[in-house]
Structure 1
């Protein structure tokens, strides 16, 4: 009981201090809140795990939002099919991520981080085949980053549930990256 009260008080203080600092990146805010909570519980060295959970949440929200956008705006049936697959895969991944976050008592962002928002804005500003090419290029770049980060966390996460989550998602991320690269090669010859 005292642990929960301390946790809630630490969270409230952190939220108030962040609100007074202005608009920070949602990923950084969530990670900082998680670290603050863990430190209040006497757990040190949780920054990398907290940052990963926040980054992964924002990255997966981006993938879902981009897939929804591509289903509306893409002109190529292949791109729409890819968007459908990406959306489904990242929704399932997000469900696992949310479960891991709740179990590990991590704070997650509720909106895209600033870098992910910029990616969304850049892609959403495109039309026609330019949209299709921008969408595929960006999801390839993002999956490349995701795969590297998940591989690192599968090896180096401090919390076992985070390690297990990252390891479990690697096959899906590898599959997505291969498919996106193949489609990018086909579309690049247009």
Structure 2
């Protein structure tokens, strides 16, 4: 009898704990935010911006933001320079030219701002982005376009989250970067939309 009672108690405890566990996990099928499958951690009130749940940036300090933003920005420029050399698609090349122009400007603004705060930004992509550049260097034609556009989508999703996190940050050392991050977000979101549209056309992503 004692064994049966113990077993029943264990089952009851498991059942009672399950709803709480389910509520603590994000269910993409029940998402009601502007992007299904990506939870929103902020509401669209004045002075606030959305932070998507995918690859949410972890910022411990302003130096983290500067390092991540500069590395991402240099990847955008360098990968797009490769696109001008290797892509045969007019659409991809036009997109790449826009990436070079916009991200060069953002990189310069970030460098000026961070140096004024005593932080020297990195002047090249980090090891992860360098590896992606090496992979792109070994491709051409449609194969290059596929990887380039896929990486543009991924990198811009990460950048949107990074800059949104910075714009919403309450850390004291992030105050000088909040306006810059908020002003750059619309550009990054536009880039993301363009990259997703190009990646979905079928033209540059078609098999050889």
Superposition TM-score, scaled by structure 2 size: 0.66
Look up the match of 2:109: 96
1:177 to 2:196 alignment: no
TM-align CA RMSD: 1.6
Look up the match of 1:63: 76
Bigger helix share? 1
Look up the match of 1:187: 202
Deviation at residue 109 of structure 1 after TM alignment: 1.3
How many residue pairs were aligned? 145
Structure 1: any 5+ residue segments left out of the alignment? 1-45
Give runs of aligned pairs for residues 101-180 of structure 1, distance below 5 A.
Answer: 101-156=114-169, 157-158=171-172, 159-180=174-195
CA distance in 2, matches of 1:47, 1:108: 16
Superposition TM-score, scaled by structure 1 size: 0.72
CA distance in 2, matches of 1:182, 1:136: 10
1:50 to 2:63 alignment: yes
Decide whether the 8 Å contact of 2:115 with 2:121 is kept in 1.
no
Which structure: larger Rg? 2
Deviation at residue 162 of structure 1 after TM alignment: 1.1
Render the CA deviation track for 1:139-159: whole Å, top value 9, x for unaligned: 110000000111011001533
Deviation at residue 47 of structure 1 after TM alignment: 4.1
